Amino acid sequence: MLARRFAFLFVFILSVLLWGGNSFTQEKTDTTTEPTDKPQPYEHQYDEAEVVEWEFGIMLACSGGYAKTTRVNAPLPIAWPEQEVELYEETKSNNVGKITIKKLSGKTASIMAFAVPILRNGDSAEAILRYRVRRRSTLRPADTNQFEFAKKLNGKLRGYLKPSPYIDSRNKQIREIGKTIFADNEEQPAWDKVEAVYSWVRENIRYKFDAQPHTCQEALDTGHGDCEELSALFIAILRSRGIPARAVWVPGHTYPEFYLEDETGKGHWFPCQIAGSSHEFGSMREDRPILQKGDRFKTPVSRKTTRYVEAGLESADKTGVLKVEHLMRRVKDN
């Protein structure tokens, strides 16, 4: 009888322990599967666009003498999230050496490079690359309050705070302008502070085309400038406030981009059309191909840092005159 009672008690205790252990396990599992409300990284939105064919290249003609070992560079379109590029054809004259494509400045620009061993009086040479380009317009975010100024910048982003040719972010007057604009918009979110700089530039610098580039100080002194000066001044003011900004170059035009982070800490570049009648901030309706982003470049034939990649050449020995035609033209819509 006593042995039977002990056996019953043992079975009872074992059942309680197993039931309690299963309950604890079930409760722990349920807790770990509860949903979370963490913010998701922002993703840029683009519209649809057609593929357009473009030609990029150089045509040379020599007169009155010769030119030996002429090295040539010219800008090309480069892939970005809003742009797809496809090289589909190459043509060159027999006196042109191999055409190579090189990336510049952290892969933010691309050039074609080639050499012509000898050009004599009356000789010509050409090299042309043909691209299919699908350039999509960038749409403005629906919720701009989610963006903040970057809390920590890596080395590459800190490079977009430094002065560049014609973009003097350390200029005393520019620093004062930025300080005043931010003080007047102290309670506004980051996006609105940047937009206040955009509006200030458009309201205070009248658009006026000039083939000769000018510094930000000259634009402030005269009160006018074209897309290059308007973009440069916007970029310089933001950089003076510790906000990364850069220039974007397309055939015949430039516009600026600025850098903000979303709620998850992911960084984004946003464009704005600072020259023109429409207030286009945080979006970009543009079908011309992007040639580069940034404003500090050196090419293999350049002797100085420039704010955009230009077509350039140099000859090891030359007595003649070289006439250069730089091609950047739209040839066909698909």
The answer to whether residue 29 scores a pLDDT higher than 90 is no
Interval 306-320: pLDDT, tens:
999 989 999 999 999
Angle at 163 between CA 162 and CA 165, to 5 degrees: 140
- pLDDT at position 12: 46
29 or 241: which carries more pLDDT confidence? 241
The answer to whether residue 50 scores a pLDDT higher than 80 is yes
Q: Give the start-to-end residue ranges of the domains of the chain.
A: 51-135+299-333, 155-286
- pLDDT at position 39: 85
- pLDDT at position 251: 96
- pLDDT at position 148: 98
- pLDDT class for 302, splitting at 50, 70, 90? confident
The correct CATH number of 51-135+299-333 out of 3.50.50.60, 3.30.60.50, 2.60.40.2250, 3.40.50.150 is 2.60.40.2250
What is the C-alpha to C-alpha distance for residues 166 and 307, in angstroms, rounded to an integer? 8
Interval 150-209: pLDDT, tens:
999 999 999 999 999 999 999 999 999 999 999 999 999 999 999 999 999 999 999 999
Mean pLDDT of 61-66: 98
Interval 229-240: pLDDT, tens:
999 999 999 999
Least confident range of 4-8, 46-50, 74-78: 4-8
- pLDDT class for 16, splitting at 50, 70, 90? very low
pTM above threshold 0.75: yes
The answer to whether residue 259 scores a pLDDT higher than 50 is yes
- pLDDT at position 130: 98
- pLDDT class for 35, splitting at 50, 70, 90? low
The correct CATH number of 155-286 out of 3.30.365.10, 3.40.50.1820, 3.30.420.40, 3.10.620.30 is 3.10.620.30
**What value does the mean pLDDT of the chain take?**
90
- pLDDT at position 207: 95
For tokens 């299919």, the residue is 132
Mean pLDDT of 13-29: 42
The answer to whether residue 18 scores a pLDDT higher than 90 is no
- pLDDT at position 17: 42
**% pLDDT > 90, the chain:** 82
Q: What is the 3-state secondary structure (H, E, C) of the chain?
A: CHHHHHHHHHHHHHHHHHHHHHHHHHHHHHHHCCCCCCCCCCCCCECCCCEEEEEEEEEEEEECCCEEEEEEEEEECCCECCEEEEEEEEEECCCCCCCEEEEECCCCEEEEEEEEEEECCCCEEEEEEEEEEEECCECCCCCCCCCECCCCCCHHHHHHHCCECCECCCCHHHHHHHHHHHHHCCCCCHHHHHHHHHHHHHHHCEECCCCCCCCHHHHHHHCEECHHHHHHHHHHHHHHCCCCEEEEEECCEEEEEEEEECCCCCEEEEEEECCCCCCEECCECCCCCCCEECCCECCCCCCCCECCCCCEEEEEEECCEEEEEEEEEEEEEC
